[in-house]
Amino acid sequence: MARVYNFSAGPSMLPESVLTKAAAEMLDYEGSGQSVMEMSHRSKVYQGIIDQTEALLREVMNIPDNYKVLFLQGGASSQFAMVPMNLMTGSGKADYVITGQWAKKAYKEAARYGKANVVASSEDKTFSYIPKLDPATFTPDADYFHICMNNTIYGTVYHELPETGDVPLVADISSCVLSRPIDVSKFGMLYAGAQKNMAPSGVTVVIIREDLLGKAMDITPTMFNYQIHADNGSMFNTPPCYTIYVMKLVLEWIKNDIGGLENMQKINEQKAAMLYDFLDNSKMFRGTVVPEDRSLMNVPFVTGDEELDAKFVKEATAAGFVNLKGHRSVGGMRASIYNAMPVEGVEKLVAFMKKFEEENA
Ligand SMILES: *Cc1c(COP(=O)(O)O)cnc(C)c1O
């Protein structure tokens, strides 16, 4: 069976070697005589898996020792509530930058629990840029400052972080985690759903500085309290065992096959440059984001003609390039080129786009 080139925004491609390994270990994980799907999460062998996953993530991302790593459920969307419930308890204020639908959802949820302040928004131009931020407009005594680092739907990314001083910076990195090195020490907290760049759906990783734990509101459900999960090694209840195991395989792939995040970044830059160069030189296709804020991971583009867009998506699908239809709020196309998309997949897509342009000129 031929595998397609899958440009889905999420859940998205996994490295083929990870799928092969998972398949090989399906019936018998390392001589245990069981699938990881069947194991007690309290067993020694499973404890080994979750411990190795955390150790690999700490190594690959270079996470400082004063940060906890939590494996949670409920998606990145649950973090929109967990962040304010756990952190918005000093002044009861927090700053938000609205750079897309995920950032907006995070803001709206926070506004239910305290004074959420919109520092800036790029909604005026369909979120096609990252707003310039002026620290003079930030709330000096905010409990935290929230950004969505890579905007999956619109294809923008922060190339520079806001200067928030002593106010902890909190970032949703769901669609850029593991795509390049990131200085964790610049953040109070990071969170990411797994299904873009880490694993299948089902687990959300939280990386939180220890001094930010233990401040949750009284009304916080036990399952929403970071401290509870930190105290219980992410095993207060049954964790998403199999998803965490696949994350371990993905991290091993990044460490051993790719050679770490510096190399991952080089490959991702190479892929993105190929696609953006083509878009910048095409007479038919164009990118929708201002060049200085372009994402390495999500590349939206249009022809400017809805019928031609639909024809392109249809013919691309038939040729084995799937999930290229843009998000319903932007239209056009979007190619998500996460870590697992091979260079060859982007090369072939660009060749296909060239051919389509010639045939439809
Ligand atoms: C996909 C995505 C989400 C939503 O994740 P769920 O796991 O479905 O809740 C939130 N933020 C960003 C940046 C995303 O890309």
Q: Which of 7, 14, 4 is nearest to 195 (CA)?
A: 14
pLDDT at 160: 96
pLDDT at 58: 98
Average pLDDT, stretch 69-93? 98
| Percent with pLDDT over 90 in the chain | 98
Record the pTM.
0.98
pLDDT at 328: 87
Q: Mark whether 95 is an active-site residue.
A: no
Tokens of 318: 């038939």
Confidence of residue 151 (pLDDT cuts 50, 70, 90): very high
Q: Which of 318, 320, 282, 319 is nearest to 299 (CA)?
A: 282
pLDDT at 330: 86
165 secondary structure, DSSP code: T
| Ligand 1 pocket member 76 (CB < 6 A) | yes
Question: Tens of pLDDT along 209-257?
Answer: 999 999 999 999 999 999 999 999 999 999 999 999 999 999 999 999 9
Torsion of CA 103, 336, 157, 116, to 10 degrees: 0
Of all protein residues, whose CA lies closest to atom 13 belonging to ligand 1? 174
What is the per-residue burial (b if ≥16 Cβ within 10 Å, else e) of 189-220?
Answer: bbbbbbbbbbbbebbbbbbbbeebbebbbeeb
Whether residue 104 has pLDDT greater than 80: yes
Q: Mark whether 104 is an active-site residue.
A: no
Confidence of residue 1 (pLDDT cuts 50, 70, 90): low
Residue pair 85/217 in contact by the 8 Å Cβ criterion: yes
Whether residue 145 has pLDDT greater than 80: yes
Ligand 1 centre to CA of 109 (Å) is 14
Nearest-angstrom CA–CA distance, 156 and 136: 24
Tokens of 182: 């990131």
Q: Which of 83, 226, 106, 79 is nearest to 168 (CA)?
A: 83
Nearest-angstrom CA–CA distance, 61 and 224: 25
| Ligand 1 pocket member 152 (CB < 6 A) | yes
| Ligand 1 pocket member 174 (CB < 6 A) | yes
β-pairing verdict for 286-287 and 298-302: antiparallel
| Ligand 1 pocket member 102 (CB < 6 A) | yes
Average pLDDT, stretch 127-148? 97
Question: Tens of pLDDT along 281-322?
Answer: 999 999 999 999 999 999 999 999 999 999 999 999 999 999
Average pLDDT, stretch 145-151? 98
Which ranges of the chain does DSSP label H, i.e. alpha helix? 16-24, 44-61, 75-87, 101-110, 226-231, 241-252, 261-281, 306-318, 343-359
Residue pair 121/96 in contact by the 8 Å Cβ criterion: no
| Ligand 1 pocket member 261 (CB < 6 A) | no
pLDDT at 335: 98
Whether residue 31 has pLDDT greater than 80: yes
Question: Tens of pLDDT along 156-203?
Answer: 999 999 999 999 999 999 999 999 999 999 999 999 999 999 999 999
pLDDT at 304: 94
Q: What is the CA radius of gyration of the chain?
A: 21
Q: Mark whether 172 is an active-site residue.
A: yes
Mutation test of ligand 1: which of 152, 201, 296 has the most ligand atoms closer than 8 Å to its C-beta?
152
Of all protein residues, whose CA lies closest to atom 10 belonging to ligand 1? 76
- Relative to the CA of 201, which ligand 1 atom is closest? 7
Whether residue 265 has pLDDT greater than 70: yes
β-pairing verdict for 115-121 and 298-302: unpaired
pLDDT, the chain, mean: 97
pLDDT at 2: 86
Whether residue 10 has pLDDT greater than 80: yes
